[in-house]
Amino acid sequence: MKKNTWIIIAIVILAIIIIAYLFAKGKNIAPANVNQNESASCSDPTCLLPYFINCQAGEMNMPFDSGIYTIKVLGLEDEKCHYQVAIKDNTGALLAPGLECRVPKEMITNDRFDHLFGGDKVAGKEAILTEQNQIDQNYCLPQS
């Protein structure tokens, strides 16, 4: 298999583990109030979630075995949430093409956030996956 395929598989497995852990622990991952003048620097999804949902500046750099999974929320631009998703090596170089997204604010939901971690790639969430893939196609561009 190609290196990119293994990276994608690792991300999906990691996302499923993280989501299962959060729900098993009964953590509330609903949006919280965030300071609009504060930019988050996170290493896990729980920290980034309120910033993502509120489209406030924040960045998550989450290590995994082959690199760093990065989500950077740049903020609201023309009623669209601007964010970037990438998989980088330890030097900051892209390991696979990333995404540059400008998604309408009303589409920034927990489902959208879960999609970034592969949480909709499980049985019973096919409709959510289809909807989120369509959002990717309509509002995201590949980043290299």
Q: What is the pLDDT of residue 25?
A: 38
Q: Say how many domains are in the chain.
A: 1
Per-residue pLDDT of the chain (144 residues; tens, 9 = 90+): 566 555 555 555 545 455 544 444 333 344 444 455 568 899 999 999 999 999 999 999 999 878 999 999 999 999 999 999 999 998 889 998 999 999 999 999 999 999 999 999 999 999 999 999 999 999 999 998
Q: Which of 116, 120, 114 is nearest to 83 (CA)?
A: 116
Q: What is the pLDDT of residue 112?
A: 97
Q: What is the pLDDT of residue 9?
A: 57
Provide the token pair at 115: 């999609």
Q: Which of 140, 10, 142 is nearest to 80 (CA)?
A: 140
- What whole-number distance in Å separates Cα of residue 13 and Cα of residue 38? 31
Neighbours of 126 (CB within 10 A): 11
Q: Which domain holds residue 82?
A: 3-143
- What whole-number distance in Å separates Cα of residue 45 and Cα of residue 117? 9
Q: What is the pLDDT of residue 119?
A: 94
Provide the token pair at 58: 């924040």
To which residue do tokens 């030097």 refer?
A: 91
Give the single-character DSSP code of 120: T
pTM: 0.74
